[in-house]
Structure 1
Amino acid sequence: MPADRMPVRNATVADAHGLAVVHVRSWQAAYRGLMPQEVLDALSIAEREANWARFMADSERSSRTLVVERDNEIVGWAGYGAARDDDAPGTGELWGIYAHPAAWSTGVGHALVTAVEAALRAEGHEVAYLWVLAGNDRAAAFYERHGWASDGGTKIDERPGLTLHERRHVKRLV
């Protein structure tokens, strides 16, 4: 199905399993060689599903999540909202886009990034940013094809047993 006809909708609590499957499988494929294999192997769909269910049920959350389905299965999701970084007040943030590896290069990412950009514009954001894991050249190239440009910003995200180096990409939305 062409990307311009892929239905994108808001995620619900009922989508927790599909969100988790895409989350885990995309990390395991996209981040192979970029983070320790034991971290990727230890990812649990059941744990991620429980986290997604809690997150989606939280009415106080400051982000929104969109999904794309194919044959009644979630094949991609994107999270977005107001910027989380203290130095970017009033800016929008694309928190993440993930597609199931079987759906890579099928237009799922394009449909999601287009929908997120439109939603951020509708919320009044003139500029948005996102973070890309250093070395994830596939993702960086995807965002660059969609008009997002590295601005040289970097950050280190410390997680249990894991240090992630990330690079910021920015896009003017209006």
Structure 2
Amino acid sequence: MNVEIRLATPTDKAAAAEVHIVARNTYYEGHVDVAALDRRAAQLRAFYTEKLDRFDRRLWCAEIDGDVVGMALTGPSMDNLGPWVGQLYQIHVRPDHWREGIGTALHRTCLDAWREAGVTVGVLEVWSNNERAQSFYESHGWRPDGHSRPGKGETTYRRLRRTIV
């Protein structure tokens, strides 16, 4: 299997949205109402295809044989923590490609891009019920920094932080 990680082109946006949606629906399954997932899927499709260019974000794609199987989205911190802080908004891989190293390759690409841009600290949010994601990020050096915000139901989104060296 040969995975290519690259910056997305305009024609990749719809495929990246679908990767995000299918991965998201998988980890929210049983925790979030299906109608709510469907509403959010429509919002995500619109964001990726119509609104993403309005923001200072970089969309990365993981591609195998011309098929987008993973994506990552980075940009400035949502909490305006400073120009040296980057935010990893998303890493998603289609569930049929989990555990193949694609998320790790996307993660490495994001860190490399931040280093080149002079970003020294990364932040991200992870849903408290998504143990798979928490384990992934912890294995790559991310640690809780004490900040959180309300999530679905009685859950939270925890902010993790990592030094970029």
TM-score after normalising by structure 2: 0.88
Whole-angstrom distance in 2 between the partners of 1:132 and 1:110: 16
Give the aligned CA root-mean-square deviation in angstroms.
Answer: 2.2
Paired AA for residue 157 in structure 2: E
- Any stretches of 5+ residues in structure 1 without a counterpart? none
Residue identity (%): 31
Matching of residue 140 in structure 1 with residue 134 in structure 2: yes
TM-score by length of 1: 0.84
The question of whether the paired residues in 2 share the 8 Å contact of 1:81 and 1:120 is answered with: no
Give CA deviations for 1:32-52 in whole Å, capped at 9, x if unaligned: 13323332255546x643431
Per the alignment, do residues 164 and 52 of structure 1 end up closer, same or farther by CA in structure 2, a change over 3 Å counting? farther
Q: What is the CA deviation profile of residues 111-152 of structure 1, one whole-angstrom value per residue up to 9, with x for unaligned ones?
A: 100000111111111111100011111000000111111122
Q: Cα distance 1:25–1:118, how it changes in 2: closer, same or farther (>3 A)?
A: same
Indicate the residue corresponding to 1:172 in structure 2: 163
1:81 to partner: Cα distance: 1.4
Gaps of 5+ in 2: none
**Equivalent position of 1:52 in the other structure:** 48
Q: Aligned residue for 2:17?
A: 20
| 3-state SS in 2 of match to 1:132 | strand
Q: Confirm or deny that 1:31 pairs with 2:25.
A: no
Which segments of structure 1 move beyond 6 Å, counting only runs of 4 or more? none
Matched residue count = 164
Secondary structure of 1:33's match? coil
Report the alpha carbon displacement of residue 103 of structure 1 after superposing the two structures with TM.
1.0
